[in-house]
Amino acid sequence: MDARALPQELIRAKRDGRALGREAIRQLVAGIGDGRLSDAQVGALAMAVFLRGMDADETVALTEAIRDSGEVLDWSGLDLPGPVLDKHSTGGVGDLVSLVLGPWIAACGGHVPMVSGRGLGHTGGTLDKLEAIPGYSVTPDTATFRRLVREVGVAIIGQTADLAPADRRLYAVRDVTATVESLPLIVSSILGKKLACGLDALVMDVKSGSGAFMPTAEASRELAQTIAEVASQAGTRTTALVTDMSQPLAPCAGNALEVHEAIHLLTGEKRHGRLLAVTRGLAAELLLAGRLADSRDAAVARLDAALASGAAAERFSRMVAGLGGPNDLLERPGHYLPEAPVTRAVHAEDPGRVQAMDTRALGLTVVALGGGRRSPGEAIDPAVGLSRIASLGEAVDAERPLALVHAASAADADRAARQVREAIRVGDGPATPPPLIHDIIRREAP
């Protein structure tokens, strides 16, 4: 169809099931970004895509148009000695991978300009976790951001107004027109923002399980495969992993609690657990995609050396200080990170083993405690949350609780305790947790 057609004619074509060409899609996205398309037209376009779908070429074109709707970061002038790398997750509970992976990759020679988001629904947001650190700024000026990416190797910040502006308007309209669950719109929204960061390679963490964004394991795998293929066709080497979210990834959920957990891993106080295993798996794939290792064994060896030497912890500390946080956070986390006034152990009504969890419900428990948002812009309490969350298959009794609740008041703690008991099913039989990594999908750029 003629790319110069009126927007309503392009919308009509998609409504009637016809494929849109690359220039037609660029015209529509430009109109979304600069306001030439009305909200009614944007909503009609989103509904047409939701109902009729998009083929692979259309989805790539939509992703590239969203990427190009604002500034695309260019790192060529900084003469970086290593590749520009990043990861993205579909979100989960106790998922603080970014806090560990970013500095870990930097310690291995990568440069990570990580543009992250806030909590959404039952999932925690990387920016909310970092803002539990006093002074940490998620909105530095461009010069500071670029300097940290070059000198430290990692900077985790929030999305700027110049990155993929068309996506912000399109997403806002999707949110109120029941079109959020469209695969082409999901993929182009995720990748449009990420690829605008000028990446050499990307690793995508798509969650599957009771705490996942996608409703089924099949839908999670389809999303992972589509993201890997579209990002690669758009010119960025991409690996997508489908990882387990049938229980919280870390044994805690809540902003300050998760920063504590990241520090435990980076400083070597913890050397095991699901969080470390998934983060290592994602980081190894990123080193491979970024040509910083020529085999998975070599990637893992390099990562383990960077962790054991303290190099990854040092990068995290320099990033925090460079973005306004304390320069001795790793040495004195308890001095800086807030603690809730009420802590309460939640025990199962009867002893047994953890058989299953409603991970989404546990995430919503943290939201109800004040650790997440029920409406945009709502203030959150960084101190509240859950810790010592029992794992699938673990024995719980009068000594081993289901979790510890960290709350602002006794009434909040009582309510959260009831919610935790409802979310975790305990029984007599054995229980085997699912594998941490369900699938790995690797794609090269053409």
Q: Does domain 339-427 have CATH number 1.10.10.60?
A: no
Q: Give the pLDDT score at 1.
A: 43
Q: Give the pLDDT score at 318.
A: 98
Q: Give the pLDDT score at 445.
A: 77
From 118, 122, 193, 260, active-site residue: 193
Q: Give the pLDDT score at 160.
A: 82
Where on the phi/psi map is residue 53: left (φ > 0), alpha (ψ -120 to 50), or beta?
left
Annotation says 68 is catalytic: no
* Cα(127)–Cα(148) distance, integer angstroms: 17
Q: Taking residues 426-433, report their average pLDDT.
A: 91
pLDDT, tens only, 4-33: 689 999 999 999 999 999 999 999 999 999
From 194, 344, 353, 360, active-site residue: 194
Beta strands in 268-348 (DSSP E): 342-346
Q: Give the pLDDT score at 122.
A: 78
Annotation says 89 is catalytic: yes
Asked if residue 2 has pLDDT above 70, the reply is no
**Pairing assessment for the beta strands 424-427 and 352-357 based on DSSP bridges:** antiparallel
Residues pairing with 290 in the sheet: none
Annotation says 332 is catalytic: no
From 69, 116, 126, 365, active-site residue: 126
Instruction: Name the residue among 164, 243, 173 with its Cα closest to residue 203.
Output: 243
Asked if residue 374 has pLDDT above 80, the reply is no
Asked if residue 378 has pLDDT above 90, the reply is no
* Cα(47)–Cα(51) distance, integer angstroms: 6
Domain ranges of the chain: 7-53, 76-332+437-443, 339-427
Q: Give the pLDDT score at 176.
A: 83
Q: Say what the pTM is.
A: 0.92
Asked if residue 196 has pLDDT above 80, the reply is yes
Annotation says 144 is catalytic: no
Q: pLDDT grade, residue 270 (50/70/90)?
A: confident
Q: Taking residues 202-226, report their average pLDDT.
A: 91
Annotation says 88 is catalytic: yes
Residues pairing with 112 in the sheet: 154
Q: Give the pLDDT score at 253.
A: 97
pLDDT, tens only, 101-112: 999 999 999 999
Asked if residue 135 has pLDDT above 80, the reply is yes
Annotation says 126 is catalytic: yes
Asked if residue 363 has pLDDT above 70, the reply is yes
* Mean pLDDT, the chain, whole residue set: 94
pLDDT, tens only, 385-396: 999 999 999 999
From 174, 221, 260, 406, active-site residue: 174
* Residue pair 385/406 in contact by the 8 Å Cβ criterion: yes
Q: Give the pLDDT score at 299.
A: 98
**CATH code reported for the domain at 76-332+437-443:** 3.40.1030.10
Asked if residue 418 has pLDDT above 60, the reply is yes
Q: pLDDT grade, residue 446 (50/70/90)?
A: confident
Q: pLDDT: is 175 or 47 the higher one?
A: 47
Selected from 3.40.630.10, 1.20.1630.10, 1.20.970.10, 3.60.110.10, the CATH number assigned to the domain covering 7-53 reads 1.20.970.10
Q: Give the pLDDT score at 124.
A: 75
Q: Taking residues 28-43, report their average pLDDT.
A: 95
From 59, 69, 89, 243, active-site residue: 89
Q: What angle do the packed helices 217-233 and 183-195 form, to 10 degrees? A: 50
Q: pLDDT grade, residue 297 (50/70/90)?
A: very high
* Residue pair 110/286 in contact by the 8 Å Cβ criterion: yes
Q: Taking residues 369-382, report their average pLDDT.
A: 84
pLDDT, tens only, 60-101: 999 999 999 999 999 999 999 999 999 999 888 999 999 999
Annotation says 267 is catalytic: no
**Residue percentage of the chain with pLDDT more than 90:** 85
From 68, 86, 358, 381, active-site residue: 86
Residues pairing with 426 in the sheet: 354
pLDDT, tens only, 225-258: 999 999 999 999 999 999 999 999 999 999 999 9
